[in-house]
């Protein structure tokens, strides 16, 4: 939701609140009655809008806005002293009467669905269905009750229908009470990270469900089960209930914003883990970001075809009934890691997705670095092989020269020197000795050349 749209909705809520109070003739009551009505409605709309703007992907904000409008349209009626009512807006007033309390149903649904889009636990889904059924029954019976005002027809005698209105009211309040207990139970059953993540919204939802309990005195007294409550008791109860209702949207907004901070913490973790963190460092950063100290990162080991822990040992993923669940991370070539975390985190797919994104980035970076190192090693080995091959070839040439030309020349030189020595004693013998040996000057010339092996070494690779 854009800020402009939010401002528009806020302005609409302001106007709608004033009109509603006028239509429902609440202005005839003591001033604090319409003021608390408006304050609760506007707080719901305002907090919901803030949540919707700051967390556009989270439906909770928009649901709270919707609950706020339902409250504005049909806040539970509280009449004290002389009602001073007229028949100026009979139909509109009767219509609002049929919708009383639906805002509580929407807030309960918001809490049950938080932090996802719909309730996850089967019992929560059943509870939501039961709530809708109770509220639908209430709307139906109240429509029948208000038919003379709404449609000008008298479906049933009001004295006949009134007990049924009371029964359905009690059923509605009872369903809300059970829903409140379920939300409290969900909070108590959550792990510490889950309580941090979901606590504000769950408890606010529970408060929203339990607040209407105070209104049960009215149908009970109508049914003659209890005496009518005097104003000295009803007014403080009304204040207490309204104070509780006013806290509900604030607490829910707090829960929504806390989630936003958690996602911000994931972004901060991304900045803090560095380029190539170890698995332990990654786990520590994610644990801080998620507020879940039990978090584990299990990289995929292609060699064993399974996940391994930080020490490289095979690691098993949590079972279905464990308090921890595994979110699997896959890459282009298959699984890359598993993120094992508290089950409650899975209730907010966006925060887990942020963690998975972080994990994928880090793992991809690590894999790319590893590939780069491997390629560098291959280049080094290839270069070493080339150098080695060149070296071997140089030695082969050197050996050939040593074994061949050079040795023959050296032997020839020895023969010539021996011939020269012999010539001094016997010229004929020296001539025979030097026969076939070639000219002395040629041999000397060859011997004065740089050694052949030196020449061969010039061909060594750079």
Partner 1 sequence: MNERSGSSGEPRHRAAALARPWASRAVLLVDDHDGFRTEARALLELDGFDVVGEAADAAAAVDAAGRLHPGAILLDVGLPDADGLSIVEDLREQAPGVAIVIISGREEADFGGAIARAGADAFIAKRSLGPGVVRDLLARLDRP
Question: What are the residues whose beta carbons fall under 8 Å from the beta carbon of 360, sequence distance 6 or more?
Answer: 329, 331, 336
402 binds partner 1 (CB under 8 A): yes
- Residue 5 in tokens: 């749209």
Binding residues for partner 1, how many (CB under 8 A)? 20
Q: What residues between 182 and 211 interact with partner 1 by CB under 8 A?
A: none
CB of 461 to partner 1, least distance (A): 20
Helix (H, G, I), strand (E, B) or coil at 81: coil
57 to 47, 255, 260, 281, 376: CA distances (angstroms): 16, 15, 11, 30, 44
417 binds partner 1 (CB under 8 A): yes
413 binds partner 1 (CB under 8 A): yes
CB nearer to partner 1: pick between 162 and 413: 413
CB of 385 to partner 1, least distance (A): 24
Identify the residue among 418, 426, 445, 459 touching partner 1 (CB under 8 A): 418
Q: In whole angstroms, what is the distance from residue 137 CA to residue 140 CA?
A: 5
| Burial state string for 323-340 with b = 16 or more CB within 10 A and e = fewer than 16 | ebbbbebeeeeebbbbbb
CB of 337 to partner 1, least distance (A): 54
411 binds partner 1 (CB under 8 A): yes
- Asked whether the beta carbons of 382 and 409 are under 8 A apart, the reply is no
CB of 400 to partner 1, least distance (A): 12
CB nearer to partner 1: pick between 129 and 420: 420
Q: In whole angstroms, what is the distance from residue 101 CA to residue 277 CA?
A: 53
Cα dihedral 437, 440, 445, 447 in deg (nearest 10)? 60
Identify the residue among 243, 408, 429, 438 touching partner 1 (CB under 8 A): 408
Identify the residue among 225, 353, 386, 414 touching partner 1 (CB under 8 A): 414
Q: In whole angstroms, what is the distance from residue 52 CA to residue 47 CA?
A: 9
Question: What are the residues whose beta carbons fall under 8 Å from the beta carbon of 83, sequence distance 6 or more?
Answer: 25, 28, 29
Q: What residues between 427 and 456 interact with partner 1 by CB under 8 A?
A: 447, 451-454
CB of 376 to partner 1, least distance (A): 34
Residue 130, exposed/middle/buried by CB under 10 A (0-12, 13-18, 19+)?
A: middle
User: Which is nearest to 297 in space by CA: 280, 319, 318?
Assistant: 280
CB nearer to partner 1: pick between 314 and 451: 451
Q: In whole angstroms, what is the distance from residue 248 CA to residue 108 CA?
A: 11
Q: By CB under 8 A, which span of 26-34, 41-49, 84-92, 417-425 interacts with partner 1?
A: 417-425
| Long-range contact set of residues 378-382: C-beta below 8 Å, sequence gap at least 24 | none
CB nearer to partner 1: pick between 5 and 429: 429
403 binds partner 1 (CB under 8 A): yes
Q: In whole angstroms, what is the distance from residue 226 CA to residue 220 CA?
A: 6
Q: By CB under 8 A, which span of 58-66, 295-303, 336-344, 410-418 interacts with partner 1?
A: 410-418
423 binds partner 1 (CB under 8 A): no
CB nearer to partner 1: pick between 118 and 399: 399
CB nearer to partner 1: pick between 370 and 417: 417
Q: Which residues bind to partner 1, rule: CB under 8 A?
A: 399, 402-403, 406-408, 410-415, 417-418, 421, 447, 451-454
């Amino acid at each position: 939701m854009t800020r402009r749209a939010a401002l528009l909705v806020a302005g609409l809520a302001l106007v709608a609140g004033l009109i509603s109070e006028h239509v429902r003739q609440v202005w005839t009551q003591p001033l604090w009655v319409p003021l608390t009505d408006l304050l609760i409605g506007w707080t719901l709309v305002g907090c919901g809008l803030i949540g919707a703007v700051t967390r556009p992907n989270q439906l909770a904000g928009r649901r709270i806005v919707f609950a706020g409008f339902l409250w504005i349209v049909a806040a539970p009626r509280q009449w004290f002293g002389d009602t001073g009512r007229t028949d100026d807006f009979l139909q509109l007033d009767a219509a609002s009467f049929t919708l009383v309390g639906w805002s509580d149903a929407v807030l309960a649904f918001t809490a049950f669905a938080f932090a996802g889009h719909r309730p996850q636990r089967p019992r929560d889904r059943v509870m939501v269905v039961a709530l809708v059924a109770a509220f639908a029954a209430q709307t139906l019976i109240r429509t029948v009750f208000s038919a003379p005002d709404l449609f000008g027809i008298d479906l049933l005698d009001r004295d006949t229908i009134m007990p049924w209105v009371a029964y359905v009211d009690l059923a509605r309040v009872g369903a809300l009470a059970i829903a409140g207990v379920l939300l409290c139970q969900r909070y108590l059953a959550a792990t510490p990270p889950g309580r941090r993540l979901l606590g504000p919204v769950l408890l606010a939802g529970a408060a929203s469900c339990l607040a209407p309990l105070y209104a049960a005195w009215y149908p009970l007294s109508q049914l003659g089960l209890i005496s009518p409550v005097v104003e000295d008791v009803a007014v403080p109860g009304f204040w207490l209930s309204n104070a509780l209702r006013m806290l509900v949207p604030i607490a829910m907004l707090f829960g929504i914003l806390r989630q936003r901070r958690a996602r911000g913490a994931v972004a901060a973790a991304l900045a803090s883990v560095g380029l190539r963190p170890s698995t332990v460092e990654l786990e520590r950063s994610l644990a801080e970001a998620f507020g879940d100290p039990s978090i584990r990162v299990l990289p995929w080991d292609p060699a064993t075809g399974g996940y391994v822990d930080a020490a490289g040992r095979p690691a098993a993923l949590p079972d279905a009934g464990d308090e921890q669940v595994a979110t699997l991370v896959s890459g282009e070539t298959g699984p890359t890691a598993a993120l094992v975390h508290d089950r409650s985190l899975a209730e907010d797919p966006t925060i887990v997705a942020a963690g998975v994104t972080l994990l994928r980035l880090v793992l991809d970076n690590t894999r790319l670095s590893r590939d780069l190192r491997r390629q560098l090693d291959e280049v080094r080995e290839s270069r070493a092989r080339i150098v080695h091959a060149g070296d071997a070839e140089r030695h082969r040439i050197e050996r050939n020269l040593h074994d061949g030309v050079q040795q023959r020349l050296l032997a020839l030189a020895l023969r010539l020197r021996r011939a020269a020595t012999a010539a001094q004693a016997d010229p004929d013998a020296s001539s025979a000795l030097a026969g076939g040996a070639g000219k002395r000057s040629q041999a000397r010339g060859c011997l004065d050349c740089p050694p052949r092996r030196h020449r061969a070494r010039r061909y060594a690779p750079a």
